Structure 1
Amino acid sequence: MPSPSVCRWRHLSAIACLSLALPCIASADDQLDKLSQDHNQWVIPAGNYAGQRYSGLNQITADNVKNLHVAWTMSTGSLRGHEGQPLIVGDTMYFESSFPNYVYAVSLKEPGRILWKFAPQQDKFAPSVACCDVVNRGVAYANGVIYANALDGFLYALDAKNGNVKWKVQNADPKLGQTQTMAPLVVKNVVITGVSGAEYGVHGYVTGNDAASGKQLWRAYSTGPDDQLMFDPDKTIDGATQKPVGKNSSLASWQGDQWKLGGGTTWGWYTYDPKLDLFYYGTGNPGTWNPTQRPGDNKYSMSIIARSPETGKAKWVFQMTPHDGWDYDGVNESILTDSTIDGKTVPTLTHFDRNGFAYVLDRRTGKLLSAKKYDAVVNWADHIDMATGRPVLNDAMMTKENVNVKGICPSSQGSKDQQPASYDPNTKLFYVPTNHVCMDYQAFNVKYKAGFPYVGALVNMYPADHGEVGGRFIAFDPISGQTKWEIKDRFQDWGGALTTAGGLVFYGTLTGDFRAVDIKTGKVLWHFKTPSGIIGNPITYTYDGKQYVAILSGVGGWAAIGLAENLTKATEGLGAVGATASLADYTNLGGTLLVFAID
């Protein structure tokens, strides 16, 4: 019987570890935490539980990256947007396409050889209620099992060896406007997933399923009474005030039963702190987009919540954008690091919110430590009041029913949407793909009907200052608020970032330019034109002693919804079409996996 330390070695996959020695896997989070420390693999969607998307591999460097070339490629079989990344476990790569959500296991011994393919049978209605393309953000792994969300709301547990379905469970119902696009997170033998659909009046929630059986262990909603939120009014802390939230704090912030259609969906990236035993995620916009119809702070949409993975109970909550009037979903990732605050080292959470502010919170309590703009054009609010945690609003940019408010920055896509940032522990900077886009926003009254759009706003987006720059890739210090360097791009930078110990940061553009950048200077050292635009997230790994970099190419997502669905009117696609009207001049649809190496 092998010892638990055997699990750490990359050439013994977790599948073998499971079959040989059950004591080796006391809990999924313990196993994954150890496996993720082996940078030769990539076993968690964000690289590690902290969501840093950093690799300690350094064969590919600023000096030799010019020699990077295509090692192998394969088609994903799907034309729509690919917002995820592959996983590497032992000698196998796993990834999921956009709808129809093909899941692949690919051999690294024989690159490109498909060991198995899973094609779920789905509710054909699901794509019609996916507001912002039929994207998928990747699979999760634990204990010899691949966990995959399908658009129609089913979560599948697949045997990593052969792709056989071990169990499936439905966590969302498209007939109610609910879909699933996020990558699951596995913690303590619990598979944690969220839900999409705020634009259809969905009552947002996060679900914990038993990793072995699929049984629902708990479900916690974003809005409503305390029992549905899984809040203890005397123990759950309001991060802004550092006091207990009090009884039915969410209900008190809504008018009537509007909370039942309250949005707060949970489709972004999740992170986890094993020491504190808390996982962190963000909630999305309230329903509708028309703020006049929902007076109050609309808690707890637009919030970061810390919960126990085993029980679902909330430890603390922090709301970024009370009474959202701009669709500034709070679902973006929360990256866990240690920060120096007033000379003291603090365990922090850094969150680049859609609203244009980079929040730094003490992840133990949700206390606000810093909130700085990371794009100078942000004008809906002047700053964040550090005493209250609330934005100091620019009243001229507050939307209201039947008024066309012009020149709001950022747009509803935010200064950054779901495209994940990365962190480098050497420079202690964050590398952030951003949107440099503003909007006009006219709210109107809308009625709810299950499965039908429940938006209530006409939006038109365009590059800031109506200029030629729609995206900025930046190196940013969230404590000082200083941008160390930036790369300006024609369109939004909708793909994620990867930093490496080789002194590089990788990212891709909507036009399909995959780049390696000097992490200190921002100089582009290498680039490659991929077959389609990039909204996916790069990873790196080694096999047989050689370092590889992989990326999913396949334009789409909300940024490129016009190209994905052949929309041409500027206000279509919830206003996104205007910002990328000329994207078809630079790229086309089509999902491809590309893997690069140096000889």
Structure 2
Amino acid sequence: MKNIAFSAAVVAGVCSGALANEDVLKLQADPANNVMPSITYNGWNFSQLDQITLDNVNKLRVDWTFQIGVADEAQAPPLVVGDTMYIATPKPNRIYALDLSDAGAIKWEFRADSSNLSEVTPLACCGAQTRGINYAEGKLFFQSLGGKVYSLDAETGALLWEKQATDIKAAETMVGNGIVIKDLYIAGMAGGEYGARGYVVAFDINTGEEKWRYYSMGPNKDVGIGPRFKPFYKFDQIENPAEASWFEDSWKHGGGTNWGYFTYDPELNMFYHSTGNCGPWNPDYRRPWGELDMDEKGVLQSYRSNYCASILARDATTGELIWAYNVTPQDQWDLDEPNINPLVDLEINGVKHKALVRAARNGYFYVLDRTTGELLNDPWPFVHQNIIKGIDKATGSPMYNIDTMLFTNAEDRLKYTQAGALTEKDKAIAAEEAELYGEDAGDAPSGTEAVICPTIAARNWENDAYSPSTGLLYTSVQFGCRSMRMTEGQYVYPMTAEGYKLFEWTGEKFWVDRDGNKTDVKNQLQANDPVTGKTIWSIDYVQPSQDPIMATATDILFVGGDDKGAFRAINAKTGEVVWEFRTGNNTSVSPVTYMHDGKQYIAVIASARPGVLPVAADAAPDAVNRYQREGSTLYVFALGE
């Protein structure tokens, strides 16, 4: 690895910039406020407030609570501006303004149009959440599950404007959050599991007029590729890179949706977003059927499916694509990349770089130059994974393990690898089950299965936290492995989730440690150093626990603990749990901290998704899902005497 040293400069969070929204910058500069998800433009989810310290955090007490009133999983962090806290709920998407001077008394409530929920909810891949609201110039901005973008008067809750941004008939929903940059509200959308083609769209914050809309794949004009597009690596330096990398017109339903987080560098006037899984999961529908064009190192040479499972850098005014980096070319394992791209200044071999750091869902840790998209480190795995053997620095591409590449037909797979080849015993089992069950043969071997680590992803959408004090990036990660295979189906749009994915899981999920040995540990909270490429400390969770993280200037992390239904304060330097409060539920939303009347507060919402697997009445006290219970409550903590 190159010699990388941390620079203490705080970037893109509170720095000035003529093209940034000055009101947002001003409010971000005062840590008493929270005006956007992840707190600041740089995506650190780091607060400069310092009243609550490692020495007094054990004196935190509940100051007041608020019942959200929606029995669903809350994932949008509260906002705080002056004397008001703003809460956004999942479906049916309500906004509450709470009076901080009166223990959270309701100032007003806004209810988004829910008339099409019965049509929309079945199209929401993984729940019916919203992941954030934004504040700027006395206005609130958010989007509903049904794809409407709203602007509200922050003082009264009055509707200023609304726009239908998505096509529900094309399975396009909105579950993510947006970002306010100058006079634009920029948002993304979801639906990659159903054949949607991902895009980002920008609206005038004052009028709601749509200013531009650019897709993740397709012809240059659709993607925003023009003279300013200067990708660093050769695979992207081709004519129509986001169309030519797809087989025929498969790009028209290629996934790559934008349902996660945005970061922004005011000095470069560039914003960064990452794209979801390629669609469909089955790669045979996105390349010549059963063919794999890969060199001896494992680097894909064609049909790389640009730009799903990728990082994109765009001009924040025009939306033009400046550079793109395909994290997992021809993604066939659902290794989408909706999570945050924290922006950090690093010094490399004596040269300062504007960097972007990323713990990616494919299990590798990346440091890129956010000006050019060049890799600045040797990406390294932070979990065990068997898909990628390493990253080829010359091309910026992963070197794939041929045994984990997927095919629909066994004869195609056998052209490239003997892995998974059926024995005579396997063939007998498959024939017997096919005769007994026909198309419902279930897990009968087919010769196309591959065990994938990590299954789905090494981490999910939950935002990281970065601390300039420790120089560490904090991430919730997961360890699961499972066998999967591709299937053939009718390719029409929009489709049901299972029909569009064109794959199926086989066998039982299992978990492995960093060395590939089976383990009971399912998740970890990791503290990773982008300078040395090492995990400094980690906390193991035997029961599933994967939550957003907030860091503070006093070296404290605040994070939920689904394993015990607890909310925790953790020493950011050592990983020691220094305080714990039992909420009795999940905390799938980032905590926030704010200042009111000279006092620092911590707030978090505990909630769970409807339909979580219940535990039996006689289950052990520490049974999995014991603390995944329906209901949503906001807890606000302050230091007691």
TM-score by length of 1: 0.89
RMSD over equivalenced CA pairs, Å: 1.9
Corresponding residue for 1:594?
635
Corresponding residue for 1:480?
532
Corresponding residue for 2:452?
408
Corresponding residue for 1:47?
39
**Distance in 2, Cα, partners of 1:369 & 1:582:** 43
Q: Is the 8 A contact 1:201 1:263 kept in 2?
A: yes
Summarize the Cα distance change of 1:259–1:582 in structure 2 as closer, same or farther, 3 Å threshold. farther
The residue type paired with residue 149 of structure 2 is L
| 1:237 aligned residue (224, 230, 234) | 230
Corresponding residue for 2:48?
56
Q: Is the 8 A contact 2:406 2:450 kept in 1?
A: no
**Distance in 2, Cα, partners of 1:174 & 1:596:** 40
Question: Secondary structure of the residue that 2:193 maps to in structure 1?
Answer: helix
Shift of 1:510: 2.4
Corresponding residue for 1:524?
577
Corresponding residue for 2:5?
none
**Distance in 1, Cα, partners of 2:478 & 2:166:** 30
Corresponding residue for 1:8?
none
Corresponding residue for 2:197?
203
Question: Secondary structure of the residue that 2:24 maps to in structure 1?
Answer: helix
**Is 1:170 paired with 2:223?**
no
**Is 1:394 paired with 2:401?**
yes
**Distance in 2, Cα, partners of 1:239 & 1:249:** 13
Summarize the Cα distance change of 1:445–1:147 in structure 2 as closer, same or farther, 3 Å threshold. same
Summarize the Cα distance change of 1:192–1:371 in structure 2 as closer, same or farther, 3 Å threshold. farther
Corresponding residue for 1:503?
555
Shift of 1:190: 0.3
Q: Is the 8 A contact 1:382 1:392 kept in 2?
A: yes
Summarize the Cα distance change of 1:482–1:27 in structure 2 as closer, same or farther, 3 Å threshold. closer
> Which residues in structure 2 correspond to 1:130-529 (within 5 Å)?
130-232=124-226, 234-241=227-234, 245-295=237-287, 296-401=303-408, 403-412=447-456, 414-446=457-489, 447-453=491-497, 454-459=500-505, 461-464=509-512, 467-511=519-563, 512-529=565-582
The residue type paired with residue 211 of structure 1 is I
Shift of 1:26: 8.8
Q: Is the 8 A contact 2:604 2:635 kept in 1?
A: yes
**Is 1:555 paired with 2:591?**
no
Question: Secondary structure of the residue that 2:260 maps to in structure 1?
Answer: coil
The residue type paired with residue 267 of structure 1 is W
**Is 1:76 paired with 2:68?**
yes
| 1:104 aligned residue (75, 96, 117) | 96
Q: Is the 8 A contact 1:429 1:476 kept in 2?
A: yes
Shift of 1:77: 1.2
Corresponding residue for 1:9?
none
Q: Is the 8 A contact 1:129 1:451 kept in 2?
A: no
Q: Is the 8 A contact 1:180 1:194 kept in 2?
A: yes
Shift of 1:592: 1.4
| 1:545 aligned residue (598, 608, 611) | 598
The residue type paired with residue 313 of structure 2 is A
Shift of 1:466: 5.2
**Distance in 1, Cα, partners of 2:101 & 2:393:** 54
**Distance in 1, Cα, partners of 2:164 & 2:336:** 24
**Distance in 2, Cα, partners of 1:530 & 1:175:** 39
**Distance in 1, Cα, partners of 2:634 & 2:222:** 41
**Distance in 1, Cα, partners of 2:628 & 2:613:** 15
The residue type paired with residue 430 of structure 1 is L
Summarize the Cα distance change of 1:491–1:372 in structure 2 as closer, same or farther, 3 Å threshold. farther
Corresponding residue for 1:17?
none
**Is 1:584 paired with 2:625?**
yes
Shift of 1:386: 1.3
Shift of 1:591: 1.5
**Distance in 1, Cα, partners of 2:348 & 2:142:** 39
**Distance in 2, Cα, partners of 1:272 & 1:90:** 24
Summarize the Cα distance change of 1:548–1:41 in structure 2 as closer, same or farther, 3 Å threshold. same
Summarize the Cα distance change of 1:292–1:479 in structure 2 as closer, same or farther, 3 Å threshold. farther
Shift of 1:28: 6.2
Task: Deviation per CA, 1:503-535: give whole Å up to 9, x if none.
Answer: 211111223221111111110001112132111
Shift of 1:373: 3.2
Task: Deviation per CA, 1:151-183: give whole Å up to 9, x if none.
Answer: 000011011011111000011122211110111
Shift of 1:470: 1.1
**Distance in 2, Cα, partners of 1:200 & 1:263:** 8
Summarize the Cα distance change of 1:320–1:598 in structure 2 as closer, same or farther, 3 Å threshold. same
**Distance in 1, Cα, partners of 2:218 & 2:186:** 21
Q: Is the 8 A contact 2:41 2:264 kept in 1?
A: yes
Question: Secondary structure of the residue that 1:147 maps to in structure 2?
Answer: strand
Shift of 1:355: 0.5
The residue type paired with residue 565 of structure 1 is G
**Distance in 2, Cα, partners of 1:435 & 1:509:** 14
Shift of 1:566: 5.1
The residue type paired with residue 534 of structure 2 is Q
State the percentage of identical aligned residues. Answer: 36
The residue type paired with residue 452 of structure 1 is T
- Greater mean deviation of Cα atoms: 333-342 or 397-406: 397-406
Summarize the Cα distance change of 1:28–1:72 in structure 2 as closer, same or farther, 3 Å threshold. farther
Question: Secondary structure of the residue that 2:625 maps to in structure 1?
Answer: helix
| Count of matched residue pairs | 553
Question: Secondary structure of the residue that 1:439 maps to in structure 2?
Answer: strand
**Distance in 2, Cα, partners of 1:83 & 1:463:** 26
The residue type paired with residue 91 of structure 2 is F
**Distance in 1, Cα, partners of 2:20 & 2:368:** 27
Question: Secondary structure of the residue that 2:595 maps to in structure 1?
Answer: strand
The residue type paired with residue 611 of structure 2 is E
**Distance in 2, Cα, partners of 1:495 & 1:344:** 35
**Distance in 1, Cα, partners of 2:94 & 2:511:** 34
The residue type paired with residue 287 of structure 1 is G
**Distance in 2, Cα, partners of 1:424 & 1:269:** 18
Runs of 4+ with deviation above 6 angstroms = 25-28
